[in-house]
Amino acid sequence: MKNLVIVESPTKQKTISRFLSGDYVIRSSFGHLRDLPKKTLGVDVEKNFKPSYVVVERGKKIVPEIAKIAMSSDNIYLATDPDREGEAI
């Protein structure tokens, strides 16, 4: 059984990896993966101000890597912080 644990920072990845090994793969998102676009309003006012997120530059590399591991994982654990940033991830 393969388990993927997604955390926010490389430091947390390193720390948790000391306790979980074997069937656990720990990966960091390196912070937030999406944001509102800088050159436009970022919300659709015609659709109740629905946000229009874009993937941030570092996310363009990290998201496919995490997705590839997730596809071969039996379980995925999201171990982010209980805050706005963690919720967005």
Q: Can you read off the two tokens belonging to residue 34?
A: 């999406």
First-to-last alpha carbon distance for the chain, in angstroms, is 24
- pLDDT tens digits, residue range 7-28? 999 999 999 999 997 899 999 9
* pLDDT, position 82: 84
Q: What is the DSSP string of 46-67?
A: GGTTEE--EE-TTHHHHHHHHH
Q: Are 12 and 31 in contact (CB under 8 A)?
A: no
User: pTM for this structure?
Assistant: 0.78
DSSP classification of residue 82: S
pLDDT of res. 59: 82
What local confidence, expressed as pLDDT, does residue 24 receive?
95
Residues of the domain holding 71 = 3-88
CATH number for the domain that contains residue 29: 3.40.50.140
> Per-residue pLDDT tens for 26-85?
999 988 888 888 888 888 888 899 888 888 888 888 989 999 999 999 999 998 888 777
Nearest to 30 by CA among 57, 69, 67, 70: 57
Domain total of the chain: 1
Q: What is the pLDDT of residue 25?
A: 96
